[in-house]
Amino acid sequence: MSVELEDWSAARIAAAVNAGRLKAEEVAAEAFARIRRTDSKVKAFLSLMEEEALACARGVDARVASGRPAGRLAGVPVAVKDNILVEGQPATCGSKILEGFKAPYDAAVVERLRAEGAVIVGKTNLDEFAMGSSTEHSAFFPTRNPWDLERVPGGSSGGSAAAVAARMVPLALGSDTGGSIRQPAAFCGVAGLKPTYGRVSRYGLVAFASSLDQIGPLGLTVEDCALALSVIAGHDPKDSTCSKRPMELDLDFLEEGVRGMKIGLPKEYFIEGLAPEVEKGVQAAIKVFEKLGMQIQDVSLPHTSYGVATYYVIAPSEASANLARFDGVRYGFSTNRRGAPAAATRDLLEDYLKSRGGGFGSEVKRRIMLGTHALSSGYYEAYYGKAQRVRTLLVREFEEVFKQVDAILTPTAPTPAFRLGEKEGDPLQMYLGDVFTIPCNMAGHCGISLPCPGEGLPVGAQLMGKPFCERELLKIARNYEKEAPWKPRKPAMA
Amino acid sequence: MALSEKEIEHVAILARLEISAAEKTRFGKELGQILDYVEKIKGLDTSRVDPTASVLGDEDVFREDAVRLFPGAAALLDNAPDKEGPFFKVKKVVE
In this predicted structure, what is the pLDDT of residue A5? 54
**Domain limits at A191?**
3-260
CA distance A324 to chain B (A): 8
| Chain B CB contacts of A370 below 8 Å | 31, 34-35
pLDDT band at A345 (very low <50, low <70, confident <90, very high): confident
Query: Is the pLDDT reported for residue A1 higher than 60?
Result: no
Please tell me the distance from the alpha carbon of residue B23 to that of residue A143, in angstroms, as a whole number.
26
Contact A444 B56 (CB under 8 A): yes
pLDDT band at A3 (very low <50, low <70, confident <90, very high): very low
Per the structure, the complete domain to which residue B21 belongs is given by 5-43
Q: Is residue B54 part of a domain?
A: no
- The dihedral region occupied by A43, where left means phi > 0, alpha psi between -120 and 50, and beta the remainder, is left
Using an 8 Å CB-CB cutoff, list chain A residues near B44.
Answer: 303, 306, 390, 393
Mean pLDDT of A447-468: 95
Please identify every residue of A annotated as catalytic.
81, 156, 180
When pLDDT is averaged across residues A45-59 and rounded to a whole number, the result is 98
Q: How high is the pLDDT of residue A343?
A: 64
| pLDDT tens figures, A256-308 | 999 999 999 999 999 888 999 999 999 999 999 999 999 999 999 999 999 99
Weakest mean pLDDT among A248-252, B17-21, B23-27: A248-252
Considering the domain boundaries, does residue B61 fall inside one? Answer: no
Whole-complex ipTM: 0.95
In degrees and rounded to multiples of 5, residue A431 shows phi and psi of -60, -40
The per-residue pLDDT of chain A, averaged, comes to: 95
What confidence tier does A4 reach under pLDDT thresholds 50, 70, 90? very low
Are A102 and B49 an interchain contact pair (Cβ–Cβ within 8 Å)? Answer: no
A371-379 average pLDDT score:
96
Distance in Å, alpha carbon of A483 to nearest chain B alpha carbon: 33
Share of chain A above pLDDT 70, in %: 98
Across the interface, do A376 and B61 touch by the CB < 8 Å criterion?
no
- Could you tell me what percent of chain A has a pLDDT over 90? 89
Q: For residue B64, count other CB atoms closer than 10 A to its CB.
A: 6
φ/ψ of residue A465, rounded to 5 = -120, 170
Q: How many domains does chain A have?
A: 1
Residue A444 domain flag:
no
pLDDT, one tens digit per residue, over A64-117 is 999 999 999 999 999 999 999 999 999 999 999 998 999 999 999 999 999 999
Q: How far is CA B68 from the centre of its chain?
A: 28
Distance in angstroms (rounded) separating the CA atoms of residues A250 and A163:
27
pLDDT at site B73: 87
- The verdict on residue B85 lying in a domain is no
A391 to chain B, any CB pair closer than 8 A? The answer is yes
Residue A242: phi, psi to the nearest 5? -85, 120
Rounded Cα distance between B38 and A41, Å, is: 38
State how far residue A493 is from chain B, nearest Cα, in angstroms: 38
- Reported confidence tier of residue A248, pLDDT bands at 50, 70, 90: confident
State phi, psi for A205 to the nearest 5 degrees: -95, 130
> pLDDT (tens digit, 9 = 90+) per residue, A176-186?
999 999 999 99
Q: Which of A105, A34, A22 is nearest to A60 (CA)?
A: A22
Chain A residues 306-345 with CB within 8 Å of chain B: 306, 308-310, 312-313, 320, 324, 327-332, 334, 336-338, 345
Chain A 161-220, CB below 8 Å of chain B: which residues?
Answer: 197-198, 211
Q: Is residue A181 part of a domain?
A: yes
Mean pLDDT of A379-387: 95
For range A224-248, the mean pLDDT:
93
Pairing of strands B83-84, A77-81: unpaired
Best interface-test mutation with B: which of A373, A383, A435 has the largest number of B CBs within 10 A?
A373
Residue A393 half-sphere exposure, CB side, CA atoms within 13 Å?
19
Identity of residue A4: E
Q: Quick one: pLDDT band at residue A390, thresholds 50, 70, 90?
A: very high
CA-closest candidate to residue B8, choices A365, A349, A355, A208: A365
Query: Contact A417/A152 with Cβ under 8 angstroms?
Result: yes
For residue A30, give the CATH number of its domain.
3.90.1300.10
Instruction: Give A410-423 pLDDT, tens digit per residue.
Output: 999 999 999 999 99
Q: Where are the beta strands (DSSP E) in A201-343?
A: 214-219, 262-266, 295-299
Residue A60 has pLDDT above 50, yes or no: yes
Tell the burial category of A390 from Cβ atoms under 10 Å away from its Cβ (0-12, 13-18, 19+). buried
- The domain tally of chain B equals 1
pLDDT at residue A271 in the model: 86
Residue at A194 is within a domain: yes
B16 occurs within a structural domain: yes
Q: What is the pLDDT of residues A254-264, one digit of tens each?
A: 999 999 999 99
The domain that holds B26 is classified in CATH as 1.10.20
CA A96 to CA B17: how far, in whole Å? 15
**pLDDT at residue A13, as a whole number:** 96
Q: Is the pLDDT of residue B58 over 80?
A: no
Question: For residue B36, is it within any domain?
Answer: yes
Q: How far is CA B74 from CA A102, A204, B79, B80, in A?
A: 12, 17, 9, 10
Contact call for residues A119 and A39 (beta carbons, < 8 A)? no
Instruction: List A residues 44-73 in contact with B (Cβ-Cβ < 8 A).
Output: none
* Distance between start and end Cα atoms, chain A: 16
In this prediction, residue A405 has a pLDDT band, given cuts at 50, 70 and 90, of very high
